[in-house]
Amino acid sequence: MSISVNNISKHFGAFTALDNISLDIPEGELVALLGPSGCGKTTLLRIIAGLEQADQGDVFLKGDKVTDQPVKNRQIGFVFQHYALFRHMTVFENVAFGLRVKPRRERLGEAIIRKKVHDLLSLVQLDWLHDRYPDQLSGGQRQRIALARALAVEPSVLLLDEPFGALDASVRKDLRQWLRNLHHDLNVTSIFVTHDQEEAMEVASQVVVLNHGRIEQQGAPGDIYDHPANAFVSRFIGQTNVFDLDEHDADWLQTVGLSMAQQKGKIAHVRPHDIVIEKSTHHSDAYVTLKDWQHLGSLIRIELVKSGVNGQAASVYAEMSNDQFRRLHLNRGDKVDLRIRHAHWFH
Amino acid sequence: MNAISATSFLASKKLTLTDPDWVRYALTGLTLSIIGLFLILPLLTVLIEAFAKGWSAYSASLTHPDALAAMRLTLLVALVTVPLTTVFGVSAAWAIARFDFRGKSLLITLIDLPFSVSPVIAGLIYVLIFGAQGWLGPWAADHDIKILFAVPGIILATLFVTFPFVARELIPLMQEIGHEEEEAALSLGASGWQTFFKVTMPNVKWGLLNGVLLCNARAMGEFGAVSVVSGHIRGLTNTLPLHIEVSYNEYDFVGAFAGASVLAALAVVTLVFKTVLEWKQEQALKAARQAVEVH
Amino acid sequence: MPQSNIMPGFRPAISFTLVYLALIVLIPLSAMLLKTFQLSLDEYWAILTNARVQASFRVSFGAALIAAVIAGVFGFIIAWSLVRYNFPGKRLFDALIDLPFALPTAVAGIVLATIYEPRGWIGKLVMDSTGIQIAYKPLGITFALIFIGLPFVVRTVEPVLQEFDTAMEEAAASLGATRLQAFVKVILPNILPATITGVALAFARGVGEYGSVIFIAGNMPYISEIVPLLIITKLEQYDYAGATAIGLTMLILSFLLLLLINGLQWWVRRRSGQL
């Protein structure tokens, strides 16, 4: 295991940030710590880095217990949310900082340092900015310089706190891809913190979902999406329709294809793409009314309205490709038949 | 999110931001020693020296006709100069914070100028104008107008040294608040004065009051400039600071420190109000900022 | 060119501002300039090169410089403690920092003289233990000017320290820097400009300071006589030309200082790419 966290707890006054967390991260993974604001993900990252002290529990890096080691001895690279570039230093000096503060006997020669810094700047494709100051750079450039600076000390693990949080949407998209490729080339065990599930799914090889200071689920993005461990994960990762047996007619659900034999709880979560619709040809009991639809690029999201148990209207969302939708020849107000292909049951 | 990060900063010691204990204790100790030695000890000394010969000597010193005359003069000077400086400060702030014109930054520099002039020079320039050999000296003598070594000279010198106090406080404040609310009032049909008193004033009142307070402290406490133009005539042109000097130089220490105790009390009251007013203005600014964010 | 054409009152406000500025500040100050112009260059030079005048400039500028540097160190420590540490009574001490601004200089003067004179509380202590006399010596002037200069440094450094991005310190530590390296290479370069500005402000104020100094200075010509006192002495001897020439020189020097401070701030901001 490259990074291990054992029974970590952390309180801020009465607030529990981390509640007895244990986590193992194998060598070479790119892991996302995913969760809503205040779930403790940044605190966990800072405890692994040694920027914050846990109330209890241990941190192991490459098998060594580092719980009592200060951050500077942990051989980690940390990229801060707002980059924390040194404002009074040029880009070059920023990246060279970690090499120049080493004790004299470990320090590299000036020529080697220069070469190394320029190599790193080339790696992040910003060598042409080497004599600029941080205030003269764009957000995306600062982010990449911060990464180059963290990589300069050849860290055994790389920790990134909301690496794309402060960037424009378009820059963010580009950088995600870039970070994935960079990780692929360098193969440094990396953890990044994010509250954006789409970002976690797109970039990470492993996703750890946190909520209220606890780990809800850990696994590959596909596993987590297809087999959410609980209702929180199911709701947090991707879109989902929620059918509560207290509010929905069990008979109706059975008619539309939900097998009550699989039932393990009384709440069913259904992904929009697991809902199939077609134009109603006869008066089946399964019909719903098509209210509206929105274009989401290659997909269409369809809003369907069904009258509930006590006459209350409930919205159900379905998704399908543009082509499929066009072939159905549907209009607003049409009655459609609905079928549920698959559901996750939770208590 | 904000609430959580705020509490986490307070409640947790961020590891790398925590200095070693010995550094923390040493620096805190040094801080307290410097503050104690340079700030608290002087305040205590004023009290101890003033009451060195008991309460009766203290009250006798303060009720001595010369001391009373000095206090009256000091009050008079403050009563004249503070309103003038305030009116100037408000009009300068209105012009500078609400309009753009050529030479604005030069004007701001010139307003700050008296801060960087030695108080002795502030007195000297009025001696050069109203002295026996000065521009207006002979004219004033002919018309039997006494300016130098009289109350008008003291007031002029005080006006000079207090010149930037209110403007300095108001200009940045009014610039920060911006002029949207005033424009809204004007667009709703308010007159210029109505806008000023009903919109501008309520927004800046704490800052303005703070400027007035500091101006008053300086007006009552000015020594160097007043010393040059006053002539040190007992009972007539001695302000309280000058009365302190005269008493001290005549080895009447109780008299000097009794006067000093009055001014030191004024300073402490000023500091208390200053702290409160700065806090109030900060709250008002925060509220204004939040109102903008909601929109 | 008013920035908003519906805002009223520009003309009366600017007119009053300019007239008042001219009457109280500009015309009186120009009187000094004109008075100096009545002197020939040789006369002016003779006044300035007089040994007693030169000694007083040395005393004033020397004491003010030393005091400003010490106030710089003290002020930095105080600002650091007030921003970074928690200790009981912190807010009270913070408010007290402004005492030298609010306390009339004459009061400060007699109090400091009383404390540091050879028979005073601290004066006696220092005298007995080290044989050094503080009051009535240039050292006394320095002490008074440290008192005067302290709030200038604390109040310029404090806000900068408060807004300093502490993530930079964490970044330095994560890159392997020791606490001392982080302080010297990351914190100090970012706080130093404000500290130097504070020191320069304290210095400028110290050069012209009169009230808090004269009681503790001893006022010995050639030894502990400050420039402002010499100006007053000249005035009392009706040597208006001498007083004016010295005063103008001091004024010009303070101006240059002010210019230097502004230039320094501009340079620092430009250097870190903020302009």
Interface test with A, best of C175, C184, C190, C191 (most A CBs within 10 A): C175
Of A15, A37, A70, Cβ closest to residue B1: A37
Among A81, A82, A83, smallest CA distance to A95 is for A83
Q: Which residues pair with A268 in a beta bridge?
A: A243, A345
Of B35, B111, B275, Cβ closest to residue C78: B35
Task: List the chains bordering chain C where 3 or more Cβ pairs fall under 8 Å.
Answer: A, B
Chain A residues whose CB is inside 8 A of the B4 CB are: 12, 15, 37-38
Q: What phi and psi, each to the nearest 5 degrees, are found at residue A26?
A: -70, 160
Mean pLDDT of chain B: 89
- B31-84: pLDDT as tens digits: 999 999 999 999 999 999 999 999 999 999 999 999 999 999 999 999 999 999
Q: How far is B4 from chain A (nearest CA, A)?
A: 7
Size of interface B-C (CB pairs under 8 A): 278
CA-to-CA distance for B151 and C167, rounded, in angstroms? 58
- B88-137: pLDDT as tens digits: 999 999 999 999 999 998 999 899 889 889 999 999 999 999 887 788 88
CA-to-CA distance for A327 and A321, rounded, in angstroms? 10
The answer for residues whose C-beta is within 8 angstroms of residue C273's C-beta and 6 or more apart is A132, A133, A134, A135, A136
* Average pLDDT over every residue of A318-341: 86
The answer for residues whose C-beta is within 8 angstroms of residue B224's C-beta and 6 or more apart is B118, B119, B120, B122, B123, C105, C210, C211, C228
Q: How far is A135 from chain C (nearest CA, A)?
A: 6
| C235 neighbors A52 (Cβ within 8 angstroms) | no
pLDDT of residue A310: 61
Chain C residues whose CB is inside 8 A of the A135 CB are: 272-274
Ranges in chain C, pLDDT < 70: 1-5, 272-275
Per the CB < 8 Å rule, is C174 touching A71? yes
Residue in the structure block whose two tokens are 């208006």: C240
Chain A residues whose CB is inside 8 A of the C194 CB are: none
pLDDT of residue A261: 65
Of B7, B11, B16, Cβ closest to residue A51: B16
pLDDT of residue B166: 96
CA dihedral sign, ordered C146, C149, C155, C157: negative
Per the CB < 8 Å rule, is C168 touching A150? no
The widest CA-to-CA distance across chain C, in whole angstroms, is 71
Nearest chain C Cα to A151, which residue? Answer: C175
- C5-26: pLDDT as tens digits: 678 889 999 999 999 999 999 9
CA-to-CA distance for B238 and A106, rounded, in angstroms? 72
Per the CB < 8 Å rule, is A88 touching C177? no
Chain B residues whose CB is inside 8 A of the C173 CB are: 16
User: Residue A305 above 90 pLDDT?
Assistant: no
ipTM: 0.91
Q: How far is C271 from chain B (nearest CA, A)?
A: 23
Nearest chain B Cα to C122, which residue? Answer: B37
| C190 neighbors C108 (Cβ within 8 angstroms) | no
